[in-house]
Structure formats: structure tokens, C-alpha cells
A and B are shown apart, each in its own frame.
Chain A
Amino acid sequence: MSEFLQLCFNGTALGARYALVALGFVIIYRATGVINFAQGGLLALGAYLAYALNDTAALPFALAVIGAVIASGLIGAATERVVLRKMVGQPVFAVVMVTIGMLFILEQTITSIWGFEALNLGDPWGVQIVRAGDVVLAQRDLWTIGIAGAVLAAFFAFFRFSKLGVAMRATAFDQEAALAQGISARRVFAVSWGISGALACLAGVTLAAGPAALSPGIGAVALIAFPAMIVGGLDSPVGAVLGGLIIGITQALTTGYQEDLFGWAGANFAAVMPYVVMVLILLVRPYGLFGTREVRRI
């Protein structure tokens, strides 16, 4: 039993990171109808920015993270303004290809500045733990869950109560009708990219915290957050968070019970599991758990 709880806790910490990335995907998708494949690049860049501020500029860890989150938000918004605004009105396929191109550009930029070697992002938690009965809670994971939870709650409050948040939901629902109310779609797009960049940075920092955990390949986690978003339903923020948790916990459990359950599948079956879950859920609910069936008006 305690092993099960332990795995669930580890999975929740992992899932919280996926949730941050998946929410970033969903926010951009809802606002602009585009799946942003550059999300992984933004995530890695955010983590490296935190490293630069913390290690090179010698800022305290918390300040470095806050600075990196703000910078990533601005980079996200600037990307929208400089690159994607030119693509407004072009076929979605072309826009998606542009985001894939940006992913490679970001990855190359990172390796040419910081190299390929794994770096230490100096997080203050190290390997400290808290014991709850038989379950070992790593402080880093507790912080990750806490920060992710607080940030997600803040964004849901923003979308529910703030003028801009409500305007963003309105634009996601009907862009022309929102324009008719005087809501600037451009502003909404830029803010969506900004929020998404900031979320990616937070996810990157929580993933990279730990000994030698910061490497250019860190952006690949976005590929796992991808099934999390699909499972939840492309256009549902709540779905993104739950999808992230489902995928995270499934992965942790798969790793834990690998020998007993998936011995026949060879080692590292946990890497495949998110996609298995995605396929199974899509077979039952083609629009994801919380997704809306697309209605096209003519």
C-alpha cells in the first residue's frame, strides 16, 4: 500500500509539470486554433534562463525563477508579435510548421550558448525529504506540486474574474463577436503566448531542478505533455490539468510495477504508457475527457 501511495505521489509531482505545459498548449490552441510545437523549446529556454540568472548573474534562486518566468512570458509574446502575426489568415498547417521550425531554432540557440553538457540548476531543495508514514516526500516534489497548484489556481481565477481573462474566453469562443465588442484579438493572442511562455518556463525550472538535470533534451517533455493535452481535450484548461495528472500518475505506476506487470514489454515501458493511455481514451471519447465537439458554423 505504501508503495502505491509513494508512486502516486511521485506521479502527481510529475503530472503537475505536465499540467503546466499542457495548459500552455491549451491556452494558445483556444485563442488561435494553433498547436504550438515550440512549447518544448520555450520550456528549455526558460530553464536555461533561470540557470543564467541564478548561476551566471548570481541571483538568489527564487528571484532567478521569477525573472526567468517574466522573461519567458515576454519572449512568448514577442514570438507571437514578430513571427505568428505575419501568419494570420494563412492555413493552420503552415502556422504549425512555423512553430516546429521555431522549436529547432530555439534548441540550436540553447546548445550554442550553453553547450550540450548537463548543468546544475542550483535549486535550494537538493535531496531533502519529508516523511509521512512510510511515504518519502521529496521536498522538490512538494514545492513543485505547491507552485504548480498555486499557479494553476491563479490562472483559473484570472480567466474567471478578470476583464482580460473573460475577454480571452470570449475570443476563444467567437473571435468576430469578441471583436465586435471592441476586444482586440491581437492583444488576446499576444497575452496567450505570453502566459504560455511563462507556464513553460515554470515547468522547465521544476523539471531541471536537481543534480545535473538541466540538459538541452529537457524540451522533449513537451512530447509527453502532448498526450496529456489530448487526453483532457484540446480546448479544455481543466482537461489539461487532469490529463497531466493522469499521465503523470500512470507513468509513475508503470515504472513502479514494471517488473510485475509489464515484464514482457521490456524495460522502460513507462515511456510508451502516455501514448497507450491517449489511444485508449480517444477510442472511447474522441474529443478527450473534457473537449468539446467541434461545431462548424457556415
Chain B
Amino acid sequence: MASTRSAPDPGVEMLAVRNLEVVYDDLVLVLRGVSLTVADGEIVALLGANGAGKTTLLRAITGLLDIHRGKVTKGGVALQGTPIEKLDAPAIVRRGIAQVMEGRRIFSELTVEENLRTGAYTRKGRGEIAEGYARVLDLFPVLKDRRSSTAGYLSGGEQQMVAMGRALMAAPKLLLLDEPSLGLAPKIVEQIRDIIVEVNRQKTSVLLVEQNAQMALGISTRGYVMETGRIVKDGPAAALLADEDIKEFYLGITGDTGRKSFREVKSYRRKKRWAA
């Protein structure tokens, strides 16, 4: 779909999250001023432990906060320079952001083909949809033979492929992936990784939320680390892979023991960039 895409202004990011604050139930502050960017054509990794606020950030970007009683109280989200934080989920999908939710969330009562078709809900034009469908089956040849199977009977890896294929059916400019490797065998994780690289090569920017830091940083240009609602570290992927603290907390390569969080690490800087 490269031809239909408007050329982004140089200097305008694909995705720009600025100083975002999110509150649940008018009470619980979950994001405390998060800023993050994804440039056009980039893969960006977002790392962090459970409860750091990664999924909340994705919900804020994709307009799914409402149904969790969440609200953006400060800051904003822009797609190619246009603010989108006030739009609802269908409008955001139409603007070009698709996501693979944590835990896959496929429609397991529907067939594989029906699942993929739901992903194209916002698109018009049979030809375009058929083309997208063919492209998805090219990316995931395994699904070809299983088109009419009930999706719930597929293996975990195949279900993840259905979830990714479904998101790609929307022909997104930006793809958000929430822990695509969760619960999958190492071999399948490798496949998923290769597919993410291929999708990105076909001109889709990617924001990859992962606990598997090795895999995520291995294919990303840059990475961010989140903890208790803040970005606590960011930089080029190679630098993060070499970082002592990252090695300790996310790659399981321990030097000394007893430290449980970045809070206790000397190099931890409490950064609040773009802060008002």
C-alpha cells in the first residue's frame, strides 16, 4: 500500500507520545508522563516488567481506555503530526494504527478466514481486501490450509499468527504488538520475529512491547524501558543490549544479587523529558 500512503513530512514522527498521563477510575495514576516516539519505518521496542504500564500505553494510543474506565489526563498522542488522543478506537484504526493485543484475543468461535476478515472491517473495496488477504496468507503460509478451521482449535503459535494477520488486514501504517512471544516455544518465537522484520520491510512501522528483551532489541532500532508508569531508560537497541542493568533485569545475566528494580540502580535517572 506504499503508493496510497501520504509521504510524511521530514521531521514528523509516525507516532509521538508526549508527556502522557493516564488515570483509571479517576483514582489510579498508571502512566506518569510517558514520552516516546516511533519514526517512519522504524521498529521500536518497549520493555518493562508486568504492571509497568506498557499495555495501558497501548490502550491510550488505540482508544481502548474508555472501556477500562481509563482517561488521558495530560499530554497527547499524535500520528504523523495529527493528534489522535480524542478519537475512538474505530477512527484510530481507520487512521492507520492496528494492534495485536496481549494474549492474542482471537475470536476463537470464528474460523480463521472470518477472523482475518474482521481485521479488514474498516477497509473499503473488495479488490483491496482480497489483495491484503493474499498478502497475509503469503506471510503466514501455515494458515492457508486452516482457513476454514475454527480458530480456537489452532495451536498457540498459529493463533498468534491469526492475531497478527488480522491486524495486518487493516493495512496499518503503524503496527502495535503486545507481547507476541508470550507463551510460545522458542522456535515459534523465531518465526514471529522474522515475520515482524518482514512486515517492517514492507513499510509498516512497529512498536513492539515485549518481556523477551533479547528478541525485541535484536530486531529494533531503538528501545525504551518502562517502570511503574515512567520511561526510565531509552536509547539505540545495541546500547541497551550492552547495558549492564538491562542485562541483569531483562536478559537474566546477573552480576550481583539483591537488586529488584531500576530504582535501586545508580545509573537510574528520573527523566521527565518534554515536561511542561
Contact = CB atoms under 8 A, between A and B. Distances in A.
B93 interface: yes
A173 B109 contact: yes
A178 to B, nearest CB: 7
Looking at chain A's contact residues, the main secondary structure is: helix
Nearest to A165: B114
Interface centre among A169, A170, A178 (most CB of B within 10 A): A170
Interface string A158-169: 000001001101
Contacts of B121: 163, 167, 181-183
Given A166-B114, A180-B99, A174 B93 contact: no
Contacts of B119: 181
B269 interface: no
A180 B64 contact: yes
A180 B176 CA distance: 11
B114 A181 contact: no
Interface size class of B (residues with CB under 8 A): 20 to 34
Interface in B81-116: 88-90, 92-94, 98-99, 101, 105-110, 114-115
A184 B119 CA distance: 12
Contacts of B88: 184
Contacts of A177: 101, 105-107
Interface in A105-152: none
Contact of B89 (A167, A173, A179): A179
Contacts of A183: 90, 118, 121
Contacts of B64: 176, 179-180
Interface string B129-146: 000000000000000000
A110 to B, nearest CB: 37
A176 B118 contact: no
B71 interface: no
Contacts of B90: 179, 182-184
A163 B108 contact: no
Contacts of A167: 118, 121
B38 interface: no
B175 interface: no
Contact of B166 (A169, A173, A179, A181): A181
Contact of A180 (B105, B108, B110, B117): B105
Interface string B212-244: 000000000000000000000000000000000
B67 A179 contact: yes
Nearest to A173: B107
A181 B120 CA distance: 8
B170 interface: yes
A6 interface: no
A297 to B, nearest CB: 8
B122 interface: yes
Nearest to B68: A176
A53 B92 CA distance: 44
A175 interface: yes
Nearest to A164: B121
Contacts of B62: 180
Contacts of A184: 88, 90
A176 B105 contact: yes
Interface centre among A173, A177, A183 (most CB of B within 10 A): A177
Contacts of A175: 67
Given A167-B118, A169-B107, A170-B107, A182 B94 contact: yes
Nearest to B115: A170
B118 A166 contact: yes
A37 to B, nearest CB: 25
B117 A163 contact: yes
Contacts of B166: 181
A181 B64 CA distance: 11
Interface of A: 163, 166-167, 169-170, 173-184
29 contacts: A166-B117, A166-B118, A167-B121, A169-B107, A169-B109, A170-B107, A170-B110, A170-B118, A173-B108, A174-B105, A176-B67, A177-B106, A177-B107, A179-B67, A179-B89, A179-B90, A180-B62, A180-B64, A180-B89, A180-B93, A180-B101, A181-B98, A181-B118, A181-B121, A182-B89, A182-B170, A183-B121, A184-B88, A184-B90
